[in-house]
Amino acid sequence: MFSRFRSSPYWKPTIRALAWFPVVMFFADHGFSYGIVQGRSMQPTFNPDSNQLWKDRVLLNKWAVTDHKFERGEVVTLISPNDPKAILTKRIIALEGDTVQPLKHGSKPVHVPKGHCWVEGDEAFHSRDSNTFGTVPMGLITAKVTYVLFPFSRCGPVEKKPISRRVTSGTVKLGRDEDYL
C-alpha cells in the first residue's frame, strides 16, 4: 500500500507541504495571527455595531510582546487572571510605577507594581478588567492588537488612546539584584 502511495502523482507535493507545516505553526504561535473580538467591552474601538451581527477580526502581533515593552494606550490580548482558559482584549491604561484611580466610587488609588500593568475595556460599564481583578502581570499578555482586518469598511490600524486623567505617571525605582532573581 505504501509503494502505491509513493507512485502517486500527489506524493511529492504532499511531502513538500508537510515539510512547511512546522514553519507555519511556529509563525502562527510566535509571529502573527488573527483573532475575533467578541463582546461589548471594547466598544467603540471594536464591534461598534451593538447588534453584534459582525464581529471584528483583528491582526495579532505576538512577536511584539517578547520584549515586554508596552506603551500606555495600546490594545493587547491577555490571559484572564480569573479564568486561564479565557483570552481578553483590553487597553493598557497604566504601566509599572504609575498610580491609577479605579472607576469604583470611593476606591483608593492603586500603585502598579513592577512587572504589572492596569488594563481596561473602552466601554467601562460592560468590561471585566483591572477595576474588577486589579493589576495584571505583564507575562499574561499574549499579543498586541495592531490592525482591524474585517469588516473592510473599518480596516486599518488600531489607534492608541491618550492617557486617562485617572493615571499619574511614575517610574519604578531601580532595586537590588535580588529583585531579578
Catalytic sites, residue numbers:
41, 90
Give 128's contacts (C-beta < 8 A, 6+ positions apart): 41, 82, 88, 121
Intra-chain end-to-end CA distance of the chain, in Å: 57
Q: How far apart are CA 140 and CA 76, in angstroms?
A: 10
Q: How far apart are CA 89 and CA 35, in angstroms?
A: 10
Q: How far apart are CA 44 and CA 145, in angstroms?
A: 15
Query: Any idea how long the chain is?
Result: 181
